[in-house]
Every structure is written in structure tokens, then in C-alpha cells.
Amino acid sequence: MMDTLFMERDPYAPIRHCYPISNVLYHGKSEYQDIMVVESPHFGRILVLDGVAQCDEKYEFIYHEFMAHVPLHAHPNPEDVLIIGGGDGGVLREVLKHPEVKRAVLVDIDKEVIEVSKRFLPTMAVAFEDPRVIVLNEDGYKYVQDYEGEFDVIIVDSTDPVGFAHVLTTEEFFRHVYRALKEEGIYVGQTESIHYHLEIVRRIQRSLKKVFPVVDLYTAVIPGYAGYWWTMSVGSKKRPVREPLREVKVQTKLYSADMHRHAFLPVSFYEKLVSGEYVF
Ligand code: SAM
């Protein structure tokens, strides 16, 4: 099957990634979405949900390191961490590298994503058995509403903001997140590509600014995602997040204290980009 092509169906991107694949290892339908794992000679195994690539074995470390280590190093003592989505386990693996973390709650609506990841993506789904982990299969939007002052860091690693993931990018959701965070709490969410999804980035940033006193945006280059240059939006209840507060001791491939600082756009560029003054 060497020259079979898998075409990604990102509903927003103006391009379509087309991956040569050597095999379809799994294809099924859960209550929530279509789930596939395909094998690519270059990317290794790729998890695909509703036709959109979520993570691949070759480059997943970049996305997962930046999603986890930027907020955890910007926090003085991240003991309680909530991950919404993230059923592949990649963010969880990185979060648990921090010895400060006493409890990591992972709330993915779809238990089949977790099961498929454990079976086919063992390098990502390595941390589910850690005694600090609690896994729940619920809607993250509803889950977070039950808590007040509970978490130090909340990471939203969800699918694109369509269907049941859309609510995770609304102002109402950010108000619930704000309430569920402790005094020095930090929220981070993946907010799509800077070029191809700029209106989504702006909408999310505007909503965050209505809720959090400190809002920022950082980026990482992820070779498997449409547009490559990916954004992560931050809302912080107290402190700026551009500098790591604690010494970086975790073992990583790319993230470092310098990379943390470089991940943030220059303030003037960031402000123009988000306000709409600057247009690509
Ligand atoms: N890194 C990936 C990306 O951006 O391409 C995201 C990976 S992770 C597998 C996304 C997960 O978010 C999926 O497993 C999906 O089930 C979960 N998800 C989407 N909406 C959710 C919601 N409202 N509550 C909880 N989990 C949700």
C-alpha cells in the first residue's frame, strides 16, 4: 500500500495536507467522532479524528512540550493540573515530568480516543497508570463548572473548535475556567494556526481578555499541522507568563528556558496581530 494518500479535512484551513501512508492501522467510530490511526513513512503513526490529524509520532514532542512546560514553568508551584481533551496522553506525559505535580486530572469526553492511543500510540499514552492521574470521560465544559479555586494550571488540548469542542473556546467557558483556577492559576489552550486560523485566534484572545487580567499568545512550529506555525493562548490570574519562574529541570527535546522566552511574539507585533491592526 506504499502510495496510498490520506487527505486531511481541516474545516478551516485553506490548504489540505495530503500524507502518503503505508497502512491504516485502525479505523472506527466512537459515540463522538471518527477515529483513525494511519502509518506514514515520514511521520510515523498519526492519530486522526474526524479526518483531522491530531498528533504524529515524529513531531508530537514539540506540541506537547510547549503545551505543558510553558504554563507549568510560569507557575510558582503547579500541584493540581487539569487537562481537558488530550486523550492521546502526550500533554499528560509532559505534565507528570514535574515533581511538583501532585494530581493531574484528564477529562476527555471520548474514552475510545484514550483506548486507541494506549493500543497504537504507546510513546504518547505512557502516563495513564501514574498514581497521580485521574481520568474522567466527561464533557470538559460541564466538568469545570463544578469547581472553584481547585486547579493551578488548566490546559485545554482539544480538537478544533467545531462541534462539541467549540464550547471550549467561548467566553462563558473561560469564566468557568477562571473560577476553577486558584489565585495564581494559569489557563493555556491550543488555538490553531497563526496564518490560516487568524480569525479564530483573535476571537479567542478577545474572549480571554474579557475574563483574565493577563492574556498572552505563544507559538511553536509543528510540522504536521496546517499552517505549521501554531498558537497557544494563555490567560493568567496574576502573573505574566513570558519568563519561566522556576529552573527548568525536566528532560525535554526542545523546550528550555530560552525557548520559553522565544515562544512569545514581540509585544507590539502580538498586539497588532490580535487587534486586527496587522494583517498578514
Ligand atoms: N493535539 C491535538 C490537536 O490539536 O490536533 C488535540 C489532541 S486530543 C486527542 C483532542 C481531544 O479533545 C479528543 O480526544 C477529543 O475527544 C477531546 N475533546 C474535544 N472536545 C471535548 C470536550 N468538550 N470535553 C472533553 N474533551 C474534548
Mean pLDDT of 100-126: 98
CATH-assigned architecture of domain 60-275: 3-Layer(aba) Sandwich (3.40)
Q: Given this model, what pLDDT does residue 226 score?
A: 86
Distance from the alpha carbon of residue 83 to the mean position of ligand 1, in angstroms: 10
- The CA–CA distances, whole Å, from 271 to 73, 219, 252 equal 23, 14, 30
Going by alpha carbons, the residue nearest to atom 3 of ligand 1 is 54
Q: Given this model, what pLDDT does residue 194 score?
A: 92
Alpha helix ranges (H) inside 121-254 = 140-144, 171-180, 198-209
Q: Given this model, what pLDDT does residue 2 score?
A: 53
Query: How does the average pLDDT of the chain come out, rounded?
Result: 95
Alpha helix ranges (H) inside 121-222 = 140-144, 171-180, 198-209
Q: Given this model, what pLDDT does residue 21 score?
A: 96
pLDDT of 96 higher than 80: yes
Whether 157 is catalytic is: yes
Q: What is the pLDDT of residues 40-84, one digit of tens each?
A: 999 999 999 999 999 999 999 999 999 999 999 999 999 999 999
HSE-CB of 15 using CA atoms within 13 angstroms: 11
Q: What percent of the chain is modeled with pLDDT above 90?
A: 89
- Take residue 252 and report the three cell numbers written for it: 525535554
CA of 53, closest atom in ligand 1: 5
User: Cα–Cα–Cα angle for 117, 123, 125, nearest 5°?
Assistant: 40
User: Of the candidates 83, 85, 88, which has an alpha carbon nearest to the alpha carbon of residue 151?
Assistant: 83
Q: Where in the chain is the domain with CATH 3.40.50.150?
A: 60-275
CA atoms of 79 and 75, how far apart (whole Å): 10
Which residue in the list 10, 88, 110, 157 is annotated as catalytic? 157
Ligand 1 binding residues, C-beta < 6 A:
32, 49, 54-55, 63, 84-88, 107-110, 113, 139-141, 157-159, 164-165, 168, 190
Q: What is the pLDDT of residues 224-272, one digit of tens each?
A: 888 899 999 999 999 999 999 999 999 999 999 999 999 999 999 999 9
Distance from the alpha carbon of residue 279 to the mean position of ligand 1, in angstroms: 29
Mean pLDDT of 152-181: 95
Q: Given this model, what pLDDT does residue 249 score?
A: 96
CATH-assigned architecture of domain 4-56: Roll (2.30)
CA atoms of 39 and 43, how far apart (whole Å): 8
- Take residue 145 and report the three cell numbers written for it: 463548572
SS3 content of the chain, % helix, strand, coil (to 5): 30, 30, 40
CA atoms of 130 and 73, how far apart (whole Å): 21
Taking the CA atoms of residue 119, residue 109, residue 58 and residue 257 in that order, the dihedral angle to the nearest 10 degrees is -130
Residue type for position 223: P
Q: What is the pLDDT of residues 125-145, one digit of tens each?
A: 999 999 999 999 999 999 999
245 neighbors 74 (Cβ within 8 angstroms): yes
Going by alpha carbons, the residue nearest to atom 5 of ligand 1 is 54
Q: Where in the chain is the domain with CATH 2.30.140.10?
A: 4-56
Residues contacting 165, CB < 8 A, separation 6+: 85, 158, 159
Q: Given this model, what pLDDT does residue 10 score?
A: 80
CA of 139, closest atom in ligand 1: 24
Q: Given this model, what pLDDT does residue 232 score?
A: 98
